[in-house]
Amino acid sequence: MLIGRQSGLGGSRFFCAVCGCEVEGAGAVLGLCAACVRAHWPESRDQIADLHAASRRRFGLPQAPPRHPDGLHCALCAHECRLRPGESGYCGVRSGEAESFRRDGRRRALVSWYHDPLPTNCVADWVCPGGTGAGFPQYARDQGPEVGYFNLAVFFESCNFNCLYCQNWTFKRRPPRSGQWSLVTDLAQAVTPSTSCLCFFGGDPIPQLPFALRSAQLIGLERPQQPVRICWETNGATHPGWLRAMARISSATGGCVKVDLKAWDPHIHEALCGFPNDRVLRNFELLAGFARARPDPPLVVASTLLVPGYVGVEEVSGLAAFIARLGPDIPYSLLGFAPQFLFEHSPTASRREAEACLRAAKKAGLRRVRLANRHLLH
């Protein structure tokens, strides 16, 4: 629990549970400063785990991935849940009943969609065909922004992470598995002649990835003369085999895989998202191999949300150096922070800190770096 003390003005002041320094914003939620999360993980782990468990109980979601040896094995993501009958996976979609296990997230999904006019506020709009005309004429319909065309934005109402600052957390308000199920054919019918790209996001598409891939394949079969670019926004923590399938379909259609790299330090990553980042980094390295085969338009785009007090210059420097070693021309977006979910009372990122992060990413060797959502900076 947080260590709270009363200030002389009658408000609450919060202090790091390990070193005793005063913390605010996100630090007040975690009860720990970033330095102690990095350097004193054994002393920090239990407090952070309790916070994540409590944040999931309020939505009826499993507090930890099920690990029953005799349960059905889900290999879609890094958690590799093993589910008994009547039990839900960490994502809230997969279940231990055999029929549901074969169907949910595969032939039907908890998903919604809308048509977003191009160019749109996408992580990759500054380098993608829809926003710039990159790859024309093979992948883009115009030599510049595809004005008059649309992105079909497909939102999956599930996630395999538990980010305490989640920007789209409201999907969790629905009791697990009680939302509106849609079929692959339902989504395919939403594609129109003016749809030039489709982006799977969420939540995250990973817990329902078979559904997304089947939808993409059906759309491709139905529109061979007017292909739709297939893109993904994901945390990247899937099985490498599934990731290869994502990369192949995006590579073939002119789309991209946008990976949200939350943090470089594994303990900061676990504190913010509930799990370490080892699988994410290994998968990003795998994607970089695909990216070298199709540099234009870029197949892989990275992004990082600047979380005040936790994800700043130190984290961005580590991530940028990692990306640069894999490919200095991989596009990297730094995103301004909007207070959401458990961090709703946190400050936005400062313009000074964000500009320092931008310089750090370039200094690390990246040649294509962008600071987005500048209007959120103060």
- 180 and 296 share one domain: yes
Question: 132 and 96, same structural domain?
Answer: no
- Are both 112 and 38 inside the same structural domain? no
- pLDDT per residue as tens digits for the range 155-166: 999 999 999 999
Residues whose CB falls within 8 Å of the CB of residue 211, separated by 6 or more in sequence, listed in order: 105, 106, 107, 108, 109, 111, 184
Contact 136, 173 (CB under 8 A): no
Q: What tens digit of pLDDT does each residue of 46-70 get?
A: 999 999 999 999 999 999 999 999 9
Residue range 192-209, pLDDT digits in tens: 999 999 999 999 999 999
Residue 10 has pLDDT above 70, yes or no: no
Alpha helices per DSSP H over the chain? 26-30, 34-39, 41-57, 98-103, 129-132, 184-189, 209-222, 240-253, 266-273, 278-293, 313-326, 351-363
* Length of the chain, in residues: 378
Task: Count the alpha carbons within 13 Å of 374 in the hemisphere toward its beta carbon.
Answer: 5
Write the single-letter amino acid at 89: G
Model confidence pLDDT, tens digit, residues 15-35 = 999 999 998 888 889 999 999
Q: State whether 84 and 204 are in the same domain.
A: no
Domain limits at 69? 65-104
pLDDT at 5 (0 to 100):
32
pTM: 0.94
Same domain, 200 and 154: yes
234 and 331 share one domain: yes
Phi and psi (nearest 5°) for 329?
-100, 5
Instruction: State the average pLDDT over residues 286-300.
Output: 95
Residue 4 confidence (pLDDT): 32
What percent of the chain stands above pLDDT 90? 87
Q: Specify the number of domains making up the chain.
A: 3
Q: Are residues 341 and 200 in the same domain?
A: yes
Same domain, 89 and 125: no
Q: Which residues contact 288 (CB under 8 A, 6 or more apart)?
A: 300, 323, 326, 327, 330
Residue 170 contacts residue 39 (beta carbons within 8 Å): no
